[in-house]
A and B are shown apart, each in its own frame.
Chain A
Amino acid sequence: MSQLTLLVLQIGFLLLMWVFVFAIVYALRSDLFGQRVRKLQPDAAQAGAPAASGFPSSPITPGGGTRKPAPAPAPANGEIASAQNARTLVITSGPKAGAEFPLGRDEITIGRSADSAIIIRDDYTSTHHARLMLWNDRWMIQDLDSTNGTFLDGSRVSVPTPIPLGVPVKVGATTFELRR
């Protein structure tokens, strides 16, 4: 076996190792650089427009959803959602309006990343946008330094804030609220 052959084989081996490294990096690129943003579809843009203006609209957006969202029971007394009285998270506007998400005791992460509990893929959502968690049995919303912010009843969330029942929370073009 000549020295030259061995040298070529050695370089080939090193290249192969680096190809392996880059194969992994390529496979997890969405983790490193965030999910690719999809072009807004017309109806989604519609849903996005009123939401983007800062006024969380009442749940009237037909959007891409197949069923109309149930009208909000809206307990106007502003009772804070807790582990005891809140059962579901309901999407009130956006492409999936009407969808429900069960509330357990685990925290709920919201963002574009594939490991979020609620994955929202639109132009306005950050990779790790916000999270809902239980603090002393009360549901709190925390913004995870998102670019476009998280809005609770129209005002931007800067510190972890308790969420009252039936008050809209807006992330990107999607609005949701906690219900019994």
Chain B
Amino acid sequence: MTEPTASIASGSPSSSGSPSSSRGARRAARAAGEPTPPSGIRRIRLPQKLRNLELALLLFACVINAGAIVLVQLGALGAIDTQLILLGAGLSALVLALHISMRFVARDADPFLLPIATLLNGIGIAMIYRIDIAEGDTGWDSAAVRQIVWSAIAIVCAIATILVIRNHRVLFKYTYLSGLVAIVLLLLPLVPGLGDDHDGAQVWISIAGVMNFQPGEIAKIALAVFFAGYLVRNRDSLSMVGRTFLGMRFPRARDLGPLLVVWALSMAVIVFQRDLGTALLYFGLFLVMLYVATGRLSWIVLGLSMFLAGALIASQVLEYVGNRFANWLNPFDPARYEAEVGGSYQLVQGLFGLSNGGLIGTGWGQGRPDITPVPQSDYIIASLGEELGLAGIFAILALYLLFVSRGFRIGFAGQDDFGKLLGVGLSFVVALQVFIVVGGVMRVIPLTGLTTPFLAAGGSSLVANWIIVALLLRLSDTVRNHPRLVIDG
């Protein structure tokens, strides 16, 4: 089976909407039919079973995304407006461009990650669009239009990642460089003039006053690469020695250094950047990768107790952390509900929204998610819960579950330790972020401001998560490209 050279050129990100979809149909038809005889071609290809499965799921996801936008318009406007649907179609074309570039450079990559990410991204856009309608934002004021543009940038970044990084082991060489990059990115918002104090948390930078960016989101990828490389190099001393106490082998005091450094880093994030969620995310990531690398439970016990101690002290000393804890424990206390600063109004409105949704939701465009403050970013899960109900939320959580399980799977099947750790780290960071946000909104843990991966409005988060998708795809491709032997009984 051969590919005409022309499709390499049109497979680039610049391709427009219509040709990709017709090419997609042709591919599907070709996959179903007999292999074409080679006629003046350079090499013969096997049918790309995985890629065809991916294409089918991808088209399915695009159909659901279009359906969501149409339903929003029917529910909220009562009529269909073609402009945003066209923008959405452009996005589908980009996703298909990513799919096509994978046919050339990552043929054996996992077929499920891309459709899942596409569907989550599309549902997020539909919800943000629905909030825009409620708040009367149009044009460039509209968060949905900005989200679509950011998604396009993010997918282009993902295509670039998959084209540039041909083997994940390249990243191993840049272990310490990516550690440095992570620290610099974390410090950027604290630089005077560049930082942008946004809702109390100093995690934003503002470029020329136009573009707001959250460098911490990109830092989590750099940190995952750094932790993976560092732990592969140093895990022997972290796992082999130590003394046994209470049935667990605890590390020597001098091996506690890395854990203490990361702990201090997260505490600094809590104190200086006033961002509890990000601190929990970084620390949790390090702890899990340390556990996976060494296989010793004592690290988890030590690390969790250190973090809990730090968080408890912070809740006593720092006012904003104390407010979060109080809101979590007592949201329906009238004093808390009516407090001007740091009250539980948002949390309670989110809970009301979720309960208004019930089992199957009020329907797209028919609930009132806009009552909750920031319904399109931090609280998008409550908005979705109101309009799609329990059934919709569970479908979304199931999608995250599948995404993360594929990531762990890629890590598990990895042939080298660095790839394994990186795969587990990258997918765990998505899982932990979903847990922190959804748990915060649903009052399982104290609420902290993080974006819901793929769903929430926010460019930096989209870019970071699409790069994670690209890296996982790259990892899964290298895993399958190893020598294999099949013995059929």
Residues in B neighbouring A48, C-beta threshold 8 A: 489
Residues in B neighbouring A173, C-beta threshold 8 A: 489
In the bound complex, do residue A38 and residue B363 qualify as a contact, i.e. CB atoms below 8 Å apart? no
In the bound complex, do residue B489 and residue A44 qualify as a contact, i.e. CB atoms below 8 Å apart? yes
Inter-chain contact total with CB atoms closer than 8 Å = 126
In the bound complex, do residue B112 and residue A27 qualify as a contact, i.e. CB atoms below 8 Å apart? yes
> What residue in chain A is nearest B391 (Cβ atoms)?
A14
In the bound complex, do residue B487 and residue A118 qualify as a contact, i.e. CB atoms below 8 Å apart? yes
> What residue in chain B is nearest A122 (Cβ atoms)?
B489
Residues in A neighbouring B483, C-beta threshold 8 A: 101-102, 104, 117
In the bound complex, do residue A9 and residue B402 qualify as a contact, i.e. CB atoms below 8 Å apart? no
Choose one: B64, B406, B488; the contact of A17 (CB below 8 Å).
Answer: B64
In the bound complex, do residue B487 and residue A95 qualify as a contact, i.e. CB atoms below 8 Å apart? yes
Choose one: A1, A11, A118, A119; the contact of B78 (CB below 8 Å).
Answer: A1
Residues in B neighbouring A1, C-beta threshold 8 A: 74-75, 78
Query: Complex: how many Å from CA A23 to CA B364?
Result: 23
In the bound complex, do residue A10 and residue B363 qualify as a contact, i.e. CB atoms below 8 Å apart? yes
Please report the total number of A residues contacting B with Cβ < 8 Å. 49
Most buried by A among B60, B409, B486, B489: B489
Using a CB-CB cutoff of 8 Å, which residues 430-488 of chain B contact chain A? 479-480, 482-488
Residues in B neighbouring A106, C-beta threshold 8 A: 415-416, 482
Query: Complex: how many Å from CA A22 to CA B391?
Result: 14
In the bound complex, do residue A115 and residue B71 qualify as a contact, i.e. CB atoms below 8 Å apart? no
A99 CB-CB contact with B under 8 Å: yes
B44 CB-CB contact with A under 8 Å: no
In the bound complex, do residue A23 and residue B60 qualify as a contact, i.e. CB atoms below 8 Å apart? yes
Choose one: A21, A41, A44, A102; the contact of B395 (CB below 8 Å).
Answer: A21
Using a CB-CB cutoff of 8 Å, which residues 114-163 of chain A contact chain B? 115-125
B53 CB-CB contact with A under 8 Å: yes
A82 CB-CB contact with B under 8 Å: no
Give the secondary structure class of A's interface: mixed
Residues in B neighbouring A96, C-beta threshold 8 A: 485, 487
Residues in A neighbouring B482, C-beta threshold 8 A: 106, 117
In the bound complex, do residue B361 and residue A16 qualify as a contact, i.e. CB atoms below 8 Å apart? no
CB-CB under 8 A for A174 and B74, given A14-B395, A21-B395, A24-B57: no
Query: Complex: how many Å from CA A13 to CA B399?
Result: 15
Residues in B neighbouring A121, C-beta threshold 8 A: 486-489
B371 CB-CB contact with A under 8 Å: no
Determine the interface band of chain B, counting residues with CB < 8 A from chain A: 35 or more
Residues in B neighbouring A165, C-beta threshold 8 A: none
A86 CB-CB contact with B under 8 Å: no
A168 CB-CB contact with B under 8 Å: no
Query: Complex: how many Å from CA A72 to CA B145?
Result: 68
In the bound complex, do residue B366 and residue A6 qualify as a contact, i.e. CB atoms below 8 Å apart? yes
Query: Complex: how many Å from CA A120 to CA B487?
Result: 5
- Per-position 1/0 for A66-107, Cβ under 8 A of B: 000000000000000000000000010011100101101011
Choose one: A6, A9, A20, A94; the contact of B64 (CB below 8 Å).
Answer: A20
A164 CB-CB contact with B under 8 Å: no
- Per-position 1/0 for B38-80, Cβ under 8 A of A: 0000000000000001000100110110011001001100100
Using a CB-CB cutoff of 8 Å, which residues 355-402 of chain B contact chain A? 360-361, 363-364, 366, 388-389, 391-392, 395-396, 398-399, 402
Most buried by A among B115, B366, B406, B485: B485
B119 CB-CB contact with A under 8 Å: yes
Using a CB-CB cutoff of 8 Å, which residues 161-177 of chain A contact chain B? 172-174
Q: How far is the CB of A127 from chain B (nearest CB, A)?
A: 11
Query: Complex: how many Å from CA A23 to CA B58?
Result: 12
Choose one: A14, A23, A40, A109; the contact of B360 (CB below 8 Å).
Answer: A14
Question: Which 5 residue pairs across A and B have the least CB separation, nearest first?
Answer: A122-B489, A115-B413, A106-B415, A10-B363, A17-B395
Q: Give 19 pairs: A residue, B residue, CB < 8 Å, sorted on A.
A: A1-B78, A9-B74, A14-B388, A17-B64, A17-B392, A21-B395, A21-B402, A23-B60, A96-B487, A99-B487, A104-B483, A107-B415, A115-B409, A115-B479, A117-B485, A118-B484, A122-B488, A124-B489, A125-B489
Using A44-B489, A48-B489 as known contacts, list a sample of 13 further A-B pairs with CB atoms less than 8 Å apart, ordered by residue number in A: A6-B71, A10-B360, A18-B395, A20-B57, A28-B112, A106-B415, A107-B415, A117-B482, A117-B483, A118-B487, A120-B487, A121-B489, A125-B489
List residues of chain A with CB under 8 Å of any chain B CB. Answer: 1, 6-7, 9-11, 13-14, 16-18, 20-21, 23-25, 27-28, 31, 38, 40-41, 44, 48, 91, 94-96, 99, 101-102, 104, 106-107, 109, 115-125, 172-174
